[in-house]
Structure 1
Amino acid sequence: MQRRLRKARGEEVADDLDDYGYDDYDDRPRSLGGGPPPRRVARGGGGGGCSQMSMVLAITVLALLIAFVFLVNSTLGGLGQLFGGGLPSMREIIVTPTPQIITGAAVVQRVTELSRLETSSYTIQTVIEVQQSQGNPIFDFFAGDALLLIAKGTVIAGVDMSTITSDDVSVGPDGRTLTLRIPPAQVFSTSLDNEATRVYNRSRGVFAPENRDLETLARQQAEREILQAACEDGVLTKATEQAQQALVQFLGLLEGIEVRVEPSSPDLTTCP
């Protein structure tokens, strides 16, 4: 607009003003010096600042990740020392089970190591009277010898596993069923408790001959009576039942194996 006014007044107007980006309708003020107006400078959209922030954020995340890994390693290391020797590896945790192969010979070897399996014990106290008689009450008063013994003894019964053979063991076709037939229960021993067994009374006539074996006879009689009392109370039957339970638990340690124990009739020849 100003250019047109100046031309109308007859003033000379430079035509190169169009080079500075002004057209006829540009009425923005010129510089006081009459020089060309300042050029427009394009400014960026802040790309450099965003790049710096992204880099700082990436470094922060990386540092946090390193700290987390260090913390986890330290914690696992402490737990490993606490439980002795380190935590198990994944290979140790996920293990393919090894199948067990059960044979009659292996079972025989395992149970015969038990030898005499003592499964029942009876403790009994009794009173025994023995005398040396002359066959006549009058003679016994002067020459007789009588002894009263208080005896306490123990009877032990069980099963002799050393007699088992492969014929007593059978394994099912699938290898998961085991049947064991045990030997007959028997009395292993009968013994007196010397500390609890004593002579309560002894009556000896003036003319009675010395008999040093009278107390020995009384002790032998006490053992027989204690054994008989235990047998009458079912010591062999109880020994058989307890042997079955003990062997089921013992062989039950074989993982995944069903165990059956078949009893035998007690050996009554070991009882009086």
Structure 2
Amino acid sequence: MNNFINARFLKATPILIKGSLTIFIAVGTFSAWQTTRNLWRNFTGMFNYQVTSPTIKDPHILIQQIQGVSELTTTVFVMDAIAPISSQRKLGEWVIGETSLLYIARGEVKAGLDLSKITSEDVSINQDTITIELPAPEILDSKIDVTKSQVYDYDRGFLNLGPDNAPQLQSEAQKQTLNKIKQTACDENILEQANERAIVVISQLMETSGYKNVVVKTSSLETCP
């Protein structure tokens, strides 16, 4: 009897071992799958990051950054002008000779804001809203581009009796031409254009600093020279 039981047990032993092995493999496979899944979640989670908007908490730092830009040129006016100029040589009341010079000049006028004038009183911050009052726009620079300007004609008159003073005439012609170009730029509302473009530039600058709402106020225009 015992031999019969032992024989049946021995026959069942491979089945038990096979079933246990199958369960073990299943449990191991599930554990490995769970571990791999967790590792994959952790790995992919490394790339699911969020980028927060940069903010400047200290308004004094913000003001220093704005002032660091210093002069903000927002409008450039370029114009060609012709300046005729002359001088005479006299003997008493008699004109014995006249020199004329014709100068063609390329002038450039730059307008914008002097951001170094902004103070803490001009900037207010309320959570994600910033309000900035800009200084008045002004002419930042004006010059004659001598590389694109030239003396078109120089004439000392009959028998060259006119004074030989080309450098002085050219200098005076440049001065008069520059004044004319600056006045033309003013007549074309260069300061108003500079003001409008400054609002756009400063608004974009503040938006990149993390402020959702940007309010830019302008000052009254200065008298254009």
Band the TM-score falls in, shorter-chain normalisation? 0.7 to 0.9
Matched, 1:225 2:155: no
Matched, 1:158 2:122: no
Matched, 1:93 2:58: no
Q: Is the 8 A contact 2:101 2:153 kept in 1?
A: yes
State the distance in 1 between where 2:155 and 2:172 align. Answer: 16
State the distance in 1 between where 2:161 and 2:71 align. Answer: 50
State the distance in 2 between where 1:153 and 1:39 align. Answer: 121
TM-score (norm 2): 0.78
State the distance in 2 between where 1:52 and 1:208 align. Answer: 126
Aligned mate of 2:143, from 172, 185, 191? 191
State the distance in 1 between where 2:3 and 2:113 align. Answer: 114
State the distance in 2 between where 1:259 and 1:53 align. Answer: 74
User: 1:5-44: per-residue Cα shift (whole Å, max 9, x none)?
Assistant: xxxxxxxxxxxxxxxxxxxxxxxxxxxxxxxxx9994563
State the distance in 2 between where 1:113 and 1:203 align. Answer: 50
Q: Which has the higher contact order (CA 8 A, sep 6+)?
A: 2
State the distance in 2 between where 1:263 and 1:150 align. Answer: 37
Structure-1 residue corresponding to 2:169: 214
User: 1:230-272: per-residue Cα shift (whole Å, max 9, x none)?
Assistant: 111111111111111111111112324421010112222xx33
State the distance in 2 between where 1:39 and 1:114 align. Answer: 102
Q: Is the 8 A contact 1:103 1:171 kept in 2?
A: no
Greater helix percent: which structure?
2
State the distance in 2 between where 1:93 and 1:168 align. Answer: 37
State the distance in 1 between where 2:54 and 2:103 align. Answer: 61
Map 1:99-138 to 2 at 5 A: 102-133=57-88
State the distance in 2 between where 1:180 and 1:39 align. Answer: 101
Matched, 1:240 2:195: yes
- Kindly state the Cα deviation for residue 219 of structure 1 after the two structures are TM-superposed: 0.9
- Kindly state the Cα deviation for residue 165 of structure 1 after the two structures are TM-superposed: 1.3
Structure-1 residue corresponding to 2:98: 144
Matched, 1:54 2:9: no
Q: Is the 8 A contact 2:129 2:211 kept in 1?
A: no
State the distance in 1 between where 2:61 and 2:50 align. Answer: 29
State the distance in 2 between where 1:39 and 1:144 align. Answer: 148
State the distance in 1 between where 2:18 and 2:89 align. Answer: 126
User: 1:99-128: per-residue Cα shift (whole Å, max 9, x none)?
Assistant: 956454333222111111111111111111
Structure-2 residue corresponding to 1:26: none
Matched positions, count: 215
User: Which stretches in structure 2 are left out of the alignment for 5+ residues?
Assistant: none
* Shift in CA distance, 119/132, structure 1 to aligned 2, threshold 3 Å: same
TM-score (norm 1): 0.66
Q: Which SS does the other structure have where 1:244 is aligned? A: helix
User: 1:108-162: per-residue Cα shift (whole Å, max 9, x none)?
Assistant: 2221111111111111111111111469xxx76x510111111112111110011
Aligned-CA RMSD value: 3.7
Q: Is the 8 A contact 2:53 2:210 kept in 1?
A: no
Q: Is the 8 A contact 1:156 1:187 kept in 2?
A: yes
State the distance in 1 between where 2:2 and 2:100 align. Answer: 148
State the distance in 2 between where 1:261 and 1:254 align. Answer: 15
